[in-house]
Structure 1
Amino acid sequence: MADVDLATIADVRRYLIHLNDSFEGKETLVLKYAAPYLAASGGTMALPTERQKFDAEALRLVRKMHTDDDVITVPNVHLFDEEAHVIIMDDCGTDARTLKQLVIDEALPQTIAEEIGAAIGRFLGRIHAWNKDASFDMGILSNNELGRMLSALVTYDRLISTLTGIDNIAALADPGLDIPDGTLAIISKLAETRSHEIGSTTEVFTHGDFWPGNIMVSLRRESEGGMLRLEKLYVLDWELAKEGLRGLDIGQFCAEMRLLQRFYPSRQEETSTIMRSFLLAYRGGSGPDEALTRIAIAHVGAHLVAWTPRVHWGDKEDTRKTVAEGVELLVGGAEGTLVWLEGSLIGNLMT
């Protein structure tokens, strides 16, 4: 179907096979199409479609560990059409929302926030520990060079150009940030080190884009006016899955929760609870890990610097304050004392 353009609604309808009867208990399925460009760029930034091959492979791999019986899992892939760049997979449900949107939309009971955070922490911990299983084989995911390149590009490769004004980001101009040379030198060295590690590490299996926008949440109320319960969590978008650094998955999740704290202050309690439960569940019964904590907290900082001024979260003043916090976290991750790490945003990995 080379003549089909699945970036258009009309051709998606031509491609789809409509179900007259339910399929494996599902009345609806999801079609995910990989365009040869970044959607947010309006088609101006090329993005190889091979990324979807890694997405499909990772989803199938993770399904071996996490089944439909788990409170947290991944959608089942029913078809991967590599020629048309299409995955057809399970629908997470019409009532499901991303974790980011859920937190924005409503005040969650503390028990639900704790359960969500703990489930996500346990899930990520199992993913990161999977390589210890003698039968584990990452297959093509160990060669996801596109994922390595993108992970470095969208954070560490643009830290200095963001902070010095080279990238001409409106929120950070008039006046510029005026970061001291010594601070820039620390961040530049850290960025160089981390970019090298992203390109070369074979530490563990990682998601690569682990944030609340890639986690779908389904809640249910037992009866009219009854108790709200967590029904299901789905982790999506594994295009950047690869051998990588554990701290980057942890740091990206916590950075986005921090952004929710800063720009939706009425959700401070829920986000704090989710993050605390996430970190404690991830750590489990293991001891403090200084190296992991340093990478993770620095990645929180890198995310705040690289992404906050490029995604509309709030006004210019709050954006600049958030970037300034990111700078502090980058420096702290590189040079902070143990006491500083223990008191940091992700200190639960240490204490």
Structure 2
Amino acid sequence: MFFSVGVQNHLSLLSTSTIGHQLGFWLRSFHNWSLTPEQVALRAQVWQNDHMRELKYSFTYGSVLKALENFPELLKSHKETLDTIGDFLAKEDQRMSKEGGDGYSVLHGDFWSGNILIDNAGWREPPLLGRTNELFVIDWEFSHFGHRSCDLGQIVGDLYERKIYGNFDTAISIMKGVIDGYGTLSDEMAFRTAIYYPEAGLYDYYLITCGEDRSNTHKDDLHTTSTPFRKSDPSPKSA
């Protein structure tokens, strides 16, 4: 996990940028790989995982919006927009095809920093002689078929939250690397990814209703950082 004390003490700014880039490149390659002809059976199997797709939607939007009802002054000026986004995503099944297209593919489904492990040997720039830097992506039980922005948006939102609430400067370096590594985004992909970007702020209010109040920690930062999409970056080759 990137943000444990032991790992943080051994990661330079160069390392975190490289790690982020490799994660972004891997994520796009995985999405592309899942749509190759050889993975038709995998797509058919994952397509049936409706429960995880519905659970993901319920947790990401349903629970958070319900929690926001406890803050009517905050909610009222944004409720119409949030309802529109929620309705759009609730009808995702009607737009998807097993063959992908329009930004759809097999997803990891829970792509956040806690599910990405660094090898016990650590990460070195350049790599130690005779060794290869390795990352391990774990916990695939949320895997389902959906829009790629779900995976990309989750890791970006998670890393932004680490900076806001944990004050981990390395989180921003990793986040920028992820976006650069994923490559060029269409306007729709960038917009849909950005929907997940403020999730850290929404999730904070959800935690308040569960008894964990962190609302005063860097609360103004939620409104000061713009999404660092760089559409000029080249797309990585598919796996």
User: 1:154 and 1:120 mapped to 2: Cα distance?
Assistant: 24
Counterparts of residues 1-351 of structure 1 (less than 5 Å): 98-101=1-4, 105-106=8-9, 108-137=11-40, 138=42, 139-165=44-70, 176=71, 178-179=73-74, 181-197=76-92, 201-202=96-97, 203-218=104-119, 220=121, 231-265=133-167, 267-268=168-169, 270-283=170-183, 286=184, 288-306=185-203, 309-310=206-207, 315-318=214-217, 321=219, 325=222, 344-349=226-231
Bigger strand share:
1
Higher RCO (CA-CA < 8 Å; seq separation 6+): 2
CA contact (8 A) 2:52 2:144 kept: yes
Partner-residue secondary structure (3-state), 1:243: strand
Check 1:251–1:199 CA distance in 2 against 1; reply closer, same or farther (3 A cut). Answer: farther
| TM-score normalised by the chain length of structure 1 | 0.55
| TM-score normalised by the chain length of structure 2 | 0.78
- The percentage of counterpart residues that share the same residue type is 17
Tell me the amino acid that sits aligned with residue 229 of structure 2.
G
Structure 1 partner of 2:237:
none
Which of the two has higher C-alpha Rg?
1
Check 1:306–1:110 CA distance in 2 against 1; reply closer, same or farther (3 A cut). Answer: closer
Tell me the amino acid that sits aligned with residue 49 of structure 2.
N
Tell me the amino acid that sits aligned with residue 317 of structure 1.
N
Partner-residue secondary structure (3-state), 2:140: coil
CA RMSD, Structure 1 to Structure 2 (Å): 3.3
CA contact (8 A) 1:113 1:274 kept: yes
User: 1:293 and 1:103 mapped to 2: Cα distance?
Assistant: 34
Give 4+ residue runs of structure 1 displaced > 6 Å after superposition: 311-314
Q: Deviations over 1:93-130 (max 9, x none)?
A: xxxxx124268743621221122111111110111112
The count of corresponding residues between Structure 1 and Structure 2 is 220
User: 1:103 and 1:254 mapped to 2: Cα distance?
Assistant: 23
Tell me the amino acid that sits aligned with residue 231 of structure 1.
N
Q: Which runs of 5+ in 2 are unaligned?
A: 98-103, 234-239
Check 1:125–1:227 CA distance in 2 against 1; reply closer, same or farther (3 A cut). Answer: closer
Check 1:199–1:123 CA distance in 2 against 1; reply closer, same or farther (3 A cut). Answer: farther
User: 1:152 and 1:253 mapped to 2: Cα distance?
Assistant: 16
User: 1:103 and 1:190 mapped to 2: Cα distance?
Assistant: 40
